[in-house]
Amino acid sequence: MRVLEVTHRYPPALGGVERQVQGLARGLVVRGHSVEVVTTDLSRDRPFARLPPGPFEDAVPVRRHRVVRTLPAPHGLGLIAPGMARDVYRSSADVVHAHAFGMAPTWMSALVRRVKRTPLVIETHFDAGRGTSGWRTYARAVARLTLAPADRIVAHTKIESELLVSIGVDADRITQIPAGIDVAEFAGLPARTPTQGRLTALFVGRLDPERKGLDSMVRALAKVPEGHRPRLRLVGEDWGGKDPAIRLAGELGVGEWVTATGPLPRDQVVREYGRADLFVLPSLFECTPAVLMEAMAAGLPIVTTRVGGVAEVVLEGQTALLCPPNDPESLAAAVSRLVEDASLRDRFGRAGVDRAQLFGWDQVVPKWIRLFDGLGRAG
């Protein structure tokens, strides 16, 4: 099977979608399939930044096209990379697999599908955002113009599938395949031992003030009684949230409790999981955060918010405590509960390791192969 992966960004650019594409591509290659990746030269688009000059080592061929910023439109619609569209059109792949709801790669792939017979799969990575009327109008337009030409649409969770149906996608065209992680990355972590002194709460992800609930997290930390307050480590690329979070921590008297590391090499991120005592993800909206799967694989108990597909990734009351979004009081209570109860942390951690196996690439990749194989034969 020859598969063309089309994505807005690709590692070493950081992000959940980026790692999903890379993990799937590598999993397909290991199983004897041919994979090429077509992407941009972007490191990030808020603010706009290109990757440094390569080459970048990878297990699959990656073609990076220079992107031009035209308009400050949402969802990367103001970013144009003509070379990507040309590659998709000229590709001899059996299946084209485009990523991310409403992003430029899915628009381009959908346009090509209208003039070529190559089957198109769109993996939406879709969430409701803030659910405004403007968002819903945009979402319905995407469903009509971009998702309509796709042969199959892939959602990670039941709630994502239902969200797609709510904006006009036919349920019969949706296939549900979970997101994946490399569970082997965490197999070598040392066994977690009882922590002496202060515990460490870990956040991994973009420091995005519009999405990740950093304000709520810092306010929650200030509400945890000092005797039970964990130290908080923020690991990830700054998307405008670092300085406001650090400033707020100082104003609330917990500045010394918060450390922002910036982006770290992957092996150091894995070590951060291994050194932490609990994981906190207070997002305002999400699709299916891979960091929650990674935290479970690392044996960490979790505090997170009940948004998007989160409740289908973790098991509430078994691997994680779930809170309403933007609710520092609930978040503080959940963190305090885990800090105070070592047996609960241990129980959640052990259950999380078992749960994480469901998201391992050895479980997920075969589902993609069956989907691609069926479409490739049909095409």
CATH number, domain at 21? 3.40.50.2000
Same domain, 82 and 52: yes
- How far, CA to CA in Å, does 113 sit from each of 85, 134, 158, 379? 11, 27, 27, 12
For the stretch 234-245, what's the b/e string if a residue is b when 16 or more beta carbons lie within 10 angstroms of its beta carbon?
Answer: bbbbbbebbeeb
Same domain, 41 and 170: yes
Same domain, 351 and 208: yes
Same domain, 36 and 125: yes
Which pTM value belongs to this model? 0.94
Same domain, 196 and 166: no
Same domain, 367 and 354: no
Same domain, 102 and 196: no
Rounded-to-integer distance, Cα 133 and Cα 86, Å = 34
> End-to-end distance of the chain based on CA atoms, in angstroms?
12
Same domain, 334 and 244: yes
Judge whether 132 and 140 are in contact, CB under 8 Å. Answer: no
So what's the pLDDT on residue 68? 84
Judge whether 326 and 308 are in contact, CB under 8 Å. Answer: no
Domain region containing 110: 2-180+360-378
| Number of C-beta neighbours around residue 189 at 10 A | 15
Nearest alpha-carbon partner for 124 in 175, 73, 79: 175
Omega within 30 of 0 (cis) for the link into 325: no
Q: What is the pLDDT along the chain (379 residues), one digit of tens a residue?
A: 999 999 999 999 999 999 999 999 999 999 999 999 999 999 987 778 899 988 898 989 999 999 887 766 665 667 778 899 999 999 999 999 999 998 888 999 999 999 999 999 999 999 988 888 888 898 999 899 999 999 999 999 999 999 999 999 999 999 999 999 999 999 989 887 777 778 999 999 999 998 999 999 999 999 999 989 999 999 999 999 999 999 999 999 999 999 999 999 999 999 999 999 999 999 999 999 999 999 999 999 999 999 999 999 999 999 999 999 999 999 999 999 999 999 999 999 999 999 999 999 999 999 999 999 999 665 5
